[in-house]
């Protein structure tokens, strides 16, 4: 069984070397997303990229999917965390499958 809705996907592109209070920025953002109770977050690492400064770096992509209003509410909080980066937001079809534990 599954349910389908329309949601938003936030993709945040940062540098692997970015930090917040002595810990990796991506980890601080995961904790923020968890604290805010959003549906989920995934962090992926790239091999190499070039950002706005045109210097090679190792990119990290953070993806968050939830209701559009919840993604919008997260944006000002992220602004306090991210020293530089870029974010994109897409409308997505969200498929929620039945809870695996309940299906057993």
Q: Residue 32: which of 22, 44, 20, 48 has the closest Cα? A: 20
Q: pLDDT band at residue 57, thresholds of 50, 70 and 90?
A: confident
| H runs (alpha helix) in 13-67 | 25-36
* Residue 4, pLDDT score: 94
* Residue 33, pLDDT score: 98
Mean pLDDT of the chain: 92
Secondary structure (3-state) at 92: strand
Q: Residue 36: which of 26, 24, 28, 44 has the closest Cα? A: 28
* Residue 52, pLDDT score: 72
* Residue 1, pLDDT score: 86
pLDDT of 51 above 80 = no
Domains and CATH numbers, the chain: 2-98 (3.30.70.120)
């Amino acid at each position: 069984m599954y349910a389908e809705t329309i949601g938003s996907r936030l993709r945040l592109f940062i540098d692997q070397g970015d930090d917040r209070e002595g810990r990796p920025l991506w980890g601080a953002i995961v904790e923020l997303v968890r604290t805010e109770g959003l549906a989920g977050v995934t962090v992926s690492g790239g091999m190499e990229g070039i950002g706005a400064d045109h210097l090679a770096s190792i990119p990290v992509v953070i993806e968050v999917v939830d209701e559009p209003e919840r993604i919008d509410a997260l944006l000002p909080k992220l602004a306090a965390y991210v020293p530089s980066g870029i974010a994109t937001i897409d409308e997505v079809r969200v498929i929620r499958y039945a809870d695996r534990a309940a299906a057993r």
